[in-house]
Amino acid sequence: MMVLKSSNKMLTVADLMSKNILSCKPETSLLEAANMMGNRNVSAIFIMFKNKLIGVWTEADCAKLDFSQPKFYQQAISNFMSSPVKQVQSTMLTSELTVLFHNYGFRHLLVVDETNTPQGVVSLSDVIKSQGLEHYLHFRLVDKSYNANIPLLDASDSMTLVAKVMREKRVNAVLVENKTLKQKGIITERDLLNLLKKGEIKASCWESAGWPLLTVKETTSLYKAYQLLEIRKIRHLVVESDDLEVLGVLSLHNIMSDIEVAYMNELEMVLEQRDVALKKSQKNLFLAKKIINASLDGIMITDSSSTILQVNPAFTALTGYCEKETIGQTPRILNSGHHDKQFHDEMWQSLRKEGVWQGEIYNKKKNGELFLEWLTIIEIKESEDEDLLYAAIFSDITERKKAEKRITALAYFDELTHLPNRRLFSDRLEMALATAKRDDQILAVMFLDLDHFKQVNDTLGHTIGDLLLQQVASRLEKYVKAGDTLARLGGDEFTLLLTEVDEVNDILDFANQLILCLEERFKIQEHEISITTSIGAAVFPDDGSDSDELLKHADVAMYRSKELGRNSFQLYKPEMNARSLERMLMEKKLSKALKNNSFELYYQPKVNVLNSQVVGVEALIRWHDNELGVVSPASFIPLAEDLGLIIDLDIWVLNQACKQINEWMETGIEFGRISVNISALHLTKGNLVLAVQNSLTVWQVPAQFLEIEVTETSFISSMDEAKKVLKALKALDVHIALDDFGTGYSALSYLTQLPIDTIKIDASFIAKIPDEYGNSQIVKAIIALAQSLGLELVAEGVEKEKQLRFLQGIGCNIIQGYFYSKALPKKEFNHFITNQQLECEA
Ligand code: C2E
Ligand code: MG
Ligand code: MG
């Protein structure tokens, strides 16, 4: 198949045309014109009148002349010319020229410049020659191309007769036989022209004939024949059979029209293929358009000079600018003025280098509102010679960022009082301790607990309780010096870090000031409330060397104040530790409890509100002691941690849970999965992965039925180690839930770095929704965040229907809490879940 030479694509008519043009006036005689053509060796002459082209006369027109007319060759050429002359611009591309030849059937065109001044002549042959003739000619033979109907005249016939025969038979050559010489000769239109040049007509035509004949065989390739014509600078060859019989004449014209036909056929094929390709790419374009229009991300396409070419409906929804207002503008219409030159320079640098840029950027909507978007810009380069395009794809992340910010604030500040929380207090204490150790300074940690605060809550309600806490906080704040920290740990517990302490007496004075300042009555709505406080303090370096110890001792001292009648201050003294005798007793019992088999697992369901189905079960440990009764895990788990028993305890729970999974699978109870709480210590200090694997293997339980609940504390000391362990668990196919989310450490970075499946919103938030200050907002923010990160959500501690409805309304459908059931011993749980299943089926 022919391929149009791609190099030709950019060739223009000027590259192909022959510049050898000859012109004359209309009154020039045919004789003169023929002579001019002969001298210049061209086959066409253009006739000009007053600088205007009015016609053309070519060698081929010779055969149309009536040589019998007397002195016709002295007549003006304007009588014989053909007009008007078709012309083309020299800048036209060869590809367009080819189509012109193809569509209109022209053979020769006059080439003119932009002022219509003739520059040259171009023929279809020129185009074909520029494509390389070999391609067409090699595989064709003379046999199909020559003209077999060539008239044969006698040597004695006149040239007038020859011209007449040529005109009537429409041939451009005739053969002449000279019987005397036993020779044949040929007369062509060029011989007629030569005759014309001389201005006389010989009696016999033999004198104009060319002989001996230059011959080729039928089986010669057209390429060879063409070469022969080129070398000899002639236009006709006689075709002979093997036994030397004359068969006809092959003319350059024959060859060219042959090629032209082939060329045109192939051209048509190529154009057809182009049409098919175009249709296909139009379809692709249609699809692309559909996708762009349907995208929820805003999309904007610009050219290399930043002119906006296209935007999609999401763009309009996000920015407020409609298509009409944007096309033709530049992206500067969205400029917020928030980013400096360096920001933009770096963006462009990355685009030029990598072809892509991604990042967060502030833009401005049509209504002036700022929004933060996550933007990706890509460079689109279709081919070498095409202009660069840029596609900007963005989504509005303002809301997500706000949620992140709120939760980050939560990580460090108490939502109710806006005071630093436990985490920020610990951070500051650590820092202050480092400085104090280096500079040999004294510092103090104070622990404040309001006396009988619970009564306020119980009698006047939580709202008043909260307002009271806010007022207490702001009163205390007035006494805090720069560099010191007042924090709220939760409930009615406050702590204070005093850094620049000269002597211990100063602490005493300060504590008394605080006690006094709180003694003054509080006015809250219509209530007047009196409250007192108990304060304890521990001093570095005497009462402890690290933050835990100092806080613990300050707490012990505060309890001592309470024991001594409240509304007072106590400095820590070692004897105070006697209070922990009770604790020692518990420690002893706990150490034996594992051996004595006095633990039991209770089960609490997690229910999908939408269909009341149990989707999971949390295993919660219970300790039954003969003397102490049922001890809450909240009090013995920290003890087990201190005593180094926690790892064994967790392994016992894991094993017990897997055994239970096995049992439920056997009995066909649908429990979703069982989750097991793992202590923060265990995550980094034991070999949790091995323990999990063992339990799974022993009880032949598929890992997907097991979930591990960890708290954020697990990551604080050793993020990398925790990450490794969680990833290994995840690789086993064990689910991972983040417990007690929202208390203390809620740092967002964990969520994206760790393989967490589920977030459990802490019960302390749920307790106060939907109507308590701030909490609803926080829960909403947590849910929005979890949803944007694709995490599952469980709300813990749901007790009331209104809490459940609120949660459901904001898209949190998995609920754990007394509303459905408290944690139940195995038997009771089995009963519960069977009933639930029956209810669901009904
Ligand atoms: P957690 O993992 O956050 O468990 C939820 C706690 O909230 C459970 O207390 C549960 O009984 C209680 N709860 C559930 N629904 C409600 C409700 O509607 N209202 C109220 N007020 N409370 C509700 P529990 O069983 O006393 O456990 C306390 C904590 O002890 C657990 O908190 C967990 O951190 C830890 N824990 C329990 N079992 C284990 C265990 O086997 N291993 C380890 N390492 N820790 C455990
Ligand atoms: Mg838990
Ligand atoms: Mg929890």
Q: Which ligand is nearest to the CA of 818?
A: 1
β-pair partners for 18: 121
- Average pLDDT (280-287) is 75
Helices (H), 295-386: 313-319, 323-326, 341-354
CATH of the domain at 429: 3.30.70.270
Ligand 1 pocket check for 240: Cβ under 6 Å:
no
pLDDT of residue 696: 96
Lowest mean pLDDT among 14-18, 202-206, 540-544, 716-720: 716-720
End of a domain among 98, 125, 152?
A: 125
Distances, alpha carbon 558 to alpha carbons 478, 533, 576, 603, in Å: 22, 10, 10, 37
What number of CA atoms fall less than 13 Å from residue 125's CA on the CB side?
11
Q: How far apart are the first and last CA of the chain?
A: 73
For Cα atoms 136, 141, 145, give the angle at the middle one, nearest 5 degrees: 85
Residue 562 lies in a domain: yes
The Å distance, Cα 603 to ligand 2 centre, comes to 11
Q: What are the φ/ψ torsions at residue 669 (nearest 5 degrees)?
A: -85, 130
**What confidence tier does 40 reach under pLDDT thresholds 50, 70, 90?**
confident
Query: Which residues of 592-635 form beta strands (DSSP E)?
Result: 599-608, 613-625, 629-631
End of a domain among 209, 243, 259?
A: 259
For residues 750 and 795, the model is more confident at 795
Is the distance from CB of 188 to CB of 218 less than 8 angstroms?
A: no
**Number of other CB atoms surrounding residue 656 within 10 Å:** 19
Closest CA to 90 of 13, 8, 9, 11: 13
**Number of other CB atoms surrounding residue 383 within 10 Å:** 5
Residue 194 lies in a domain: no
Q: From the alpha carbon of 633, which atom of ligand 1 is closest?
A: 30
Q: From the alpha carbon of 823, which atom of ligand 1 is closest?
A: 11
Q: How far apart are CA 172 and CA 259, in angstroms?
A: 18
CA 342 to chain centre: 24
Q: Name the residue of 601, 620, 653, 828 to mutate for ligand 1: max ligand atoms within 8 A of Cβ.
A: 620
Ligand 1 pocket check for 792: Cβ under 6 Å:
no
Ligand 1 pocket check for 652: Cβ under 6 Å:
no
Residue 266 lies in a domain: no
For residues 497 and 581, the model is more confident at 497
Q: Which domain holds residue 451?
A: 413-574
Q: Which ligand is nearest to the CA of 621?
A: 1
Structure tokens of 447? 């622990």
Domain identity same for 169 and 234: yes
End of a domain among 548, 574, 600?
A: 574
Domain identity same for 652 and 676: yes
Domain identity same for 250 and 331: no
Q: What are the φ/ψ torsions at residue 362 (nearest 5 degrees)?
A: -85, 130
Distances, alpha carbon 161 to alpha carbons 63, 157, 169, 481, 517, in Å: 11, 7, 12, 129, 139
Domain identity same for 245 and 358: no
CATH of the domain at 382: 3.30.450.20
Q: How far apart are CA 591 and CA 372, in angstroms?
A: 56
Domain identity same for 41 and 120: yes
Residue 755 lies in a domain: yes
Q: How far apart are CA 842 and CA 840, in angstroms?
A: 5
pLDDT of residue 559: 85
pLDDT at 8 over 50: no
Domain identity same for 231 and 115: no
* Rg of the Cα atoms in the chain: 51
Ligand 1 pocket check for 739: Cβ under 6 Å:
yes
Lowest mean pLDDT among 350-364, 535-549, 707-721: 707-721
Q: Name the residue of 683, 796, 819 to mutate for ligand 1: max ligand atoms within 8 A of Cβ.
A: 796
What number of CA atoms fall less than 13 Å from residue 431's CA on the CB side?
10
Q: From the alpha carbon of 602, which atom of ligand 1 is closest?
A: 25
The Å distance, Cα 675 to ligand 2 centre, comes to 8
Residue 97 lies in a domain: yes
Q: From the alpha carbon of 632, which atom of ligand 1 is closest?
A: 26
pLDDT in tens, 393-422: 998 888 888 887 877 777 788 989 999 999
pLDDT at 477 over 50: yes
pLDDT at 102 over 70: no
β-pair partners for 377: 357, 392
Q: From the alpha carbon of 819, which atom of ligand 1 is closest?
A: 18
Q: Which ligand is nearest to the CA of 817?
A: 1
Closest CA to 87 of 106, 102, 103, 105: 106
pLDDT of residue 532: 87
The Å distance, Cα 697 to ligand 2 centre, comes to 24
Domain identity same for 600 and 744: yes
Q: How far apart are CA 368 and CA 356, in angstroms?
A: 28
**What confidence tier does 514 reach under pLDDT thresholds 50, 70, 90?**
very high
Residue 623 lies in a domain: yes
Residue 53 lies in a domain: yes
For ligand 1, atom 42: residue with the closest CA = 677
β-pair partners for 616: 606
Residue 279 lies in a domain: no
pLDDT in tens, 226-257: 888 888 878 889 999 888 888 999 987 778 77
**Number of other CB atoms surrounding residue 216 within 10 Å:** 19
For residues 576 and 328, the model is more confident at 328
Domain identity same for 790 and 670: yes
Q: What are the φ/ψ torsions at residue 546 (nearest 5 degrees)?
A: -130, 170
The strands making up 173-178's β-sheet, listed across from edge to edge, are: 152-154, 173-178, 183-188
pLDDT of residue 383: 66
The whole-model pTM stands at 0.44
- Average pLDDT (154-161) is 89
Ligand 1 pocket check for 500: Cβ under 6 Å:
no
Domain identity same for 63 and 177: no
- Top mean pLDDT of 74-78, 178-182, 753-757, 822-826 is at 822-826
For ligand 1, atom 10: residue with the closest CA = 823
pLDDT in tens, 581-618: 566 677 788 888 988 889 999 999 999 999 999 999 99
pLDDT of residue 772: 65
pLDDT of residue 728: 95
Closest CA to 90 of 71, 56, 117, 108: 117
pLDDT of residue 132: 67
Is the distance from CB of 607 to CB of 832 less than 8 angstroms?
A: no
Distances, alpha carbon 170 to alpha carbons 166, 275, 290, 623, in Å: 5, 39, 61, 120
Structure tokens of 485? 């920290």
For ligand 1, atom 15: residue with the closest CA = 817
Q: How far apart are CA 691 and CA 685, in angstroms?
A: 12
Is the distance from CB of 446 to CB of 496 less than 8 angstroms?
A: yes
For residues 629 and 563, the model is more confident at 629
CATH of the domain at 149: 3.10.580.10
For ligand 1, atom 4: residue with the closest CA = 620
Per the document, the length of the chain is 842
Considering Cα of 678, then 680, then 681, then 685, what sign does the dihedral take?
positive
Is the distance from CB of 186 to CB of 174 less than 8 angstroms?
A: yes
Q: How far apart are CA 521 and CA 535, in angstroms?
A: 19
What mean pLDDT, rounded, does the chain reach?
86
Ligand 1 pocket check for 742: Cβ under 6 Å:
no
CA 396 to chain centre: 14
Domain identity same for 546 and 496: yes
Domain identity same for 836 and 722: yes
Domain identity same for 113 and 156: no
Question: What percent of the chain is helix, strand and coil (3-state, nearest 5)?
Answer: 45, 25, 30
Structure tokens of 208? 């104009």
Q: What are the φ/ψ torsions at residue 825 (nearest 5 degrees)?
A: -65, 160
CATH of the domain at 813: 3.20.20.450
Ligand 1 pocket check for 621: Cβ under 6 Å:
yes
3-state secondary structure (DSSP) of residue 513: helix
Q: Please state the domain count of the chain.
A: 5
